[in-house]
Amino acid sequence: MAQLSQAGILAWARRSAGLSWLLLALLAGGARAEPTDHRPFAGTLMVATAAGQGKLPLRASADWTLPMPEAIRALVVVPGALRDADLSLRMAQASLYAAGDAGRGTLILVPQFMAEPDMAAHGVPNDLLHWNITGWIDGEAATGPAPISSFEALDAIVKRLADPAVFPNLRRLVIAGHAGGGQLVQRYAVVGRGAAALTNAGGAVRYVVANASSYLWFGEDRPVSTSRTACSAVDRWRYGLAQPPVYVEETEGLEERYIARDVVYLLGEADVDPNHPLLDKSCAAEAQGPNRYRRGMNYLFALELRHPNLVRHRVVNVWGVGHDAASMFVSPCGLAVLFDRPGCTPF
């Protein structure tokens, strides 16, 4: 969600119906113009795997280390490419405020996937998990303190949310991300294993993929004809299933599991700039379409061709909005997919 400067969030808040000026002041006063100027961590979650352990920094709307019987819904928001968890938390809180009664009982969590430049620039403890600059988006292993995938970090969050001793009444989980965060969420929706703990207990999980720059495709067909010789990456992970990260133990059956999950592609109808500075312009991404909006539409269309009875995946358009995370999530359709709030007419 790197595009959210202080000026941008002020402009968005003024446009957003229902946001009080007190909330606007909270957002603007806390926003930093420089996205990598991270604040002290609100908390950490220990992530332990066979490969080792490390702490994942995160922000939360309440102290989730204590039992929370009042929580009936959790919203996990994955920040974008510049990893600003503080701003993402404030944006999620603004969406919760705008949702009104539909958002009651919601716990917000924002994990922060630190990159190596963050460690060097801010002198943070070495036991915090950190990745290379884009490896966390792809689900790759952390570069320290242990080779733990960002997918395993999300698994750890979901596992705790599924603990009935801490969250006895939590029945709804939404995992959402915009831009780079949306890419991680989409790939996690394909390969992630954490949701089973909640769904087996009767809970529901939704994945909201907003304005992603690229998608993990099944099969070899792409909307833009591409030579495999000239663009060998088109079928490789992050764009295809070949050579996946260690977390992905096997690829057989992933597509069937994915289409059975509740996935929303939340697309800004005006996110059509083919030269946006943060748009993936690699040949593998260009094979999916010329811009983020077309890539999202192309992806669902391709899934529908492969699965004519596809019912649990859908595009929800946000009309008149471009690459703007705050405007996406506080829109009527954003509130509908995050909080099940009425008022959205989907595409």
Q: What is the pLDDT of residue 78?
A: 98
pLDDT at 39 exceeding the cut of 80: no
Looking from the CA of 82 toward its CB, the CA atoms found within 13 Å total 19
pLDDT of residue 14: 44
Number of independent structural domains in the chain? 1
Has residue 1 been placed in a domain? no
Q: What is the mean pLDDT of the chain?
A: 89
Task: Please spell the DSSP secondary structure of 53-80, one letter per residue.
Answer: EEEEEEEESS-TTS--TT--EEEEEE--
Average the pLDDT over 261-281 and give the result.
97
* CA 323 and chain centroid, separation: 14
Q: Is residue 345 included in any domain, yes or no?
A: no
Stretch 168-191: mean pLDDT, rounded? 98
- E-only strand ranges, the chain: 43-49, 52-60, 73-78, 106-111, 114-115, 130-131, 172-178, 204-210, 262-268, 313-318
* pLDDT class of 346 with cuts at 50, 70, 90: low
pLDDT in tens, 83-124: 889 899 999 999 999 999 999 999 999 999 999 888 878 788
* Contact call for residues 30 and 91 (beta carbons, < 8 A): no
* Residue 15 clears pLDDT 60, i.e. is over it: no
Please, are residues 295 and 288 in contact by the beta-carbon 8 Å criterion?
Answer: yes
Residue 17 pLDDT exceeds 50: no
CATH number at residue 82: 3.40.50.1820
| Per-residue pLDDT at 4 exceeds 60 | no
Q: Which residue range forms the structural domain that includes residue 239?
A: 6-339
pTM of the full structure: 0.89
Tokens 């909270």 belong to which residue? 26
Query: Alpha carbon 134 to chain centroid distance?
Result: 14
Mean pLDDT of 319-338: 96
Q: Per the domain annotation, does 347 fall within a domain?
A: no
